[in-house]
């Protein structure tokens, strides 16, 4: 059986990527593909336990601890869920993956990029997304959206300077790998943003000779 396709959604908090990952999963299923929709941190029972530790508000978590826990969650998720699904020829859509560690723990927390790249290599076993959609949003808008929707988690509670660095980080990553990482500006309606994502996906499927 042919190897599946791995698509990731990335972006600052409040960008709407969770909604759009779900919408794309539904659209791909309608096209007849078998889809696994998952997320990071988390995605398997053990990795979801790590997610709870990471996001609990009020904890004093050191940057190195945080980095290692995100990597641990990714290692489990990749081995237990993502790789087996890809081996069965499925489409795997993940709401965040290794680019988030570069954006948050390097650009956000200023941890050494070489260490992050090495840890990402260990955690992913060298797996890279085939396509990454970054949903970009202005920092204040993203933060307003998060506050409106629900109680903030530990990372969302960080200040706007931190979130501004994350946004810059995703944009820098997209300039480094323009073939894989496509940036979409979140602004108008959900439908408008979804149309932009479908356009990118259709082009991608054509390139892969899947449509």
Write out the binding residues for ligand TMP, residues 58-117 only, by CB under 6 A. 70, 96, 100-101, 104-105
The answer to whether residue 155 forms part of the interface with ligand TMP (CB under 6 A) is yes
Pairing of strands 131-136, 5-10: parallel
The answer to whether residue 41 forms part of the interface with ligand TMP (CB under 6 A) is yes
56/167 Cα distance (integer angstroms): 22
27/21 Cα distance (integer angstroms): 10
Contact 107, 166 (CB under 8 A): yes
C-beta atoms surrounding 142 within 10 Å: 25
Q: Report, in Å, the least distance between residue 194 CB and ligand TMP.
A: 18
The answer to whether residue 14 forms part of the interface with ligand TMP (CB under 6 A) is no
Q: Report, in Å, the least distance between residue 20 CB and ligand TMP.
A: 12
3-state secondary structure of 12: coil
Q: Cβ closer to ligand TMP: 6 or 104?
A: 104
Q: Cβ closer to ligand TMP: 32 or 58?
A: 58
The crossing angle, in degrees rounded to 10, of helices 190-207 and 17-30 is 50
Q: Cβ closer to ligand TMP: 4 or 43?
A: 43
Which residues make up the interface to ligand TMP (CB under 6 A)?
13, 39-41, 55, 70, 96, 100-101, 104-105, 155-156
């Amino acid at each position: 059986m042919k190897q599946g396709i791995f698509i990731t959604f990335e972006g600052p908090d409040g960008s709407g990527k969770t909604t759009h990952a779900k919408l794309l999963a539904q659209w791909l299923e309608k096209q007849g593909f078998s889809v696994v929709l998952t997320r990071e941190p988390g995605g398997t029972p053990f990795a979801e336990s790590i997610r709870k530790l990471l996001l609990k508000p009020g904890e004093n978590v050191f940057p190195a601890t945080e980095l290692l826990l995100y990597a641990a969650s990714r290692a489990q998720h990749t081995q237990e869920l993502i790789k087996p699904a890809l081996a069965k020829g499925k489409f795997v859509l993940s709401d965040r993956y290794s680019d988030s560690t570069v954006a948050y723990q390097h650009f956000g927390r200023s941890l050494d990029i070489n260490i992050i790249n090495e840890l990402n290599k260990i955690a992913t076993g060298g797996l890279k997304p085939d396509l990454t959609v970054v949903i970009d949003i202005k920092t204040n808008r993203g933060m307003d959206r998060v506050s409106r929707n629900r109680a903030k988690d530990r990372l969302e509670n960080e200040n706007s300077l931190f979130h501004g660095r994350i946004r810059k980080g995703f944009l820098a990553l997209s300039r480094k790998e323009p073939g894989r990482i496509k940036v979409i500006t979140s602004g108008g309606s959900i439908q408008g943003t979804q149309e932009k994502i479908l356009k990118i996906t259709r082009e991608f499927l054509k390139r892969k000779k899947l449509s």
